[in-house]
């Protein structure tokens, strides 16, 4: 995964994005707003936005950013208020992972009905460390083909590994309420039909995602501590 970091100025802030120009020969599954679902894709964009992001057309915004970076054809676009410049990369056993880790509001997936959503708390004027913006966006690339079922399985495996890493890093949560993921598999050859954590490629995905997210979460915790 040849990941580029690009910069832009928006609303008076200098913001980073990561761009992976994967090119042809990839099928991706993603929960992203732009290019979500399963299908061929040629690029992945992970763009940082201000903490008080107020645009109501994020898909159009991502399309604008993709065009500004020369990204054409089908692709996947994600947004995050976390620091994209601190994206963590890990590679292992043929798997490549990039993870942007921000944990402003660590969240349990199963919350009681009617509980106010802390993700919607205003950020303007709030400078306490616990209120810094955050989302966990993960991109996984594997050099083998995967069936649709295996791609879904890979998302589950990566999410389980993410949660394990967060708990080990001291964050009592399953993630944040706005996390996104993309898993990219090569095309051609006989596709893998399993990607659970004990399958060959699922285990490799799990270990590599775990390493990236754990490193990112520990980095985030260190920054919170340094801010006091």
pLDDT at 112: 87
**pTM of the entire predicted model:** 0.92
Measured between alpha carbons, how far is 213 from 217 in angstroms, rounded to an integer?
A: 6
> 116 lies in a domain?
no
* Cβ pair 123, 168 in contact under 8 A: no
pLDDT at 53: 82
pLDDT at 118: 63
* Low-confidence residues in the chain, pLDDT < 50: 123-132
pLDDT at 121: 54
pLDDT at 133: 52
> 123 lies in a domain?
no
What count of other Cβ atoms lies within 10 Å of the Cβ of residue 225? 9
Dihedral angle of Cα 164, 166, 171, 173, to the nearest 10 degrees: -70
pLDDT at 55: 87
Measured between alpha carbons, how far is 194 from 211 in angstroms, rounded to an integer?
A: 21
pLDDT at 124: 43
> 85 lies in a domain?
yes
Over the stretch 107-138, which tens digit does the pLDDT of each residue have? Answer: 999 988 887 766 555 544 444 433 445 799 99
> Could you tell me the residue range of the domain that residue 40 belongs to?
3-109+132-226
Strands 26-30 and 180-186: antiparallel
Over the stretch 45-75, which tens digit does the pLDDT of each residue have? Answer: 999 998 778 889 999 999 999 999 999 999 9
pLDDT at 117: 65
Closest CA to 175 of 140, 135, 127, 124: 135
pLDDT at 108: 92
Give, in order, the Cα–Cα distances in Å from 153 to each of 74, 183, 194, 195, 222. 23, 10, 7, 5, 32
Tell me how many domains the chain contains. 1
> 118 lies in a domain?
no
pLDDT at 221: 94
> 65 lies in a domain?
yes
pLDDT at 128: 40
- Residue 163: CATH number of its domain: 3.60.70
> 24 lies in a domain?
yes
pLDDT at 130: 37
> 77 lies in a domain?
yes
């Amino acid at each position: 995964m040849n990941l580029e970091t690009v910069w832009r100025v928006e609303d008076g802030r200098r913001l980073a994005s990561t761009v992976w120009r994967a090119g042809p020969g990839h099928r991706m599954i993603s929960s992203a707003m732009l290019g979500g679902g399963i299908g061929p894709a040629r690029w992945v964009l992970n763009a940082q936005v201000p903490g008080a992001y107020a645009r109501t057309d994020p898909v159009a915004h991502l399309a604008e950013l993709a065009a500004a970076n020369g990204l054409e054809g089908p692709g996947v676009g994600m947004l995050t208020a976390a620091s994209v410049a601190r994206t963590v990369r890990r590679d292992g056993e043929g798997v490549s992972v990039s993870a942007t880790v921000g944990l402003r509001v660590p969240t349990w997936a199963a919350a009681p009905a009617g509980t106010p959503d802390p993700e919607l708390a205003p950020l303007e004027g709030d400078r306490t460390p616990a209120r810094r913006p955050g989302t966990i966006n993960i991109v996984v690339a594997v050099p083998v083909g995967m069936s649709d079922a295996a791609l879904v399985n890979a998302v589950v495996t990566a999410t389980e590994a993410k949660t394990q890493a967060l708990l080990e890093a001291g964050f009592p949560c399953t993630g944040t309420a706005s996390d996104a993921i993309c898993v990219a598999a090569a095309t051609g050859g006989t596709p893998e039909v399993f990607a659970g954590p004990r399958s060959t490629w699922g285990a490799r995905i799990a270990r590599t995602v775990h390493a990236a997210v754990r490193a990112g979460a520990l980095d985030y915790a260190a920054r919170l501590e340094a801010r006091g």
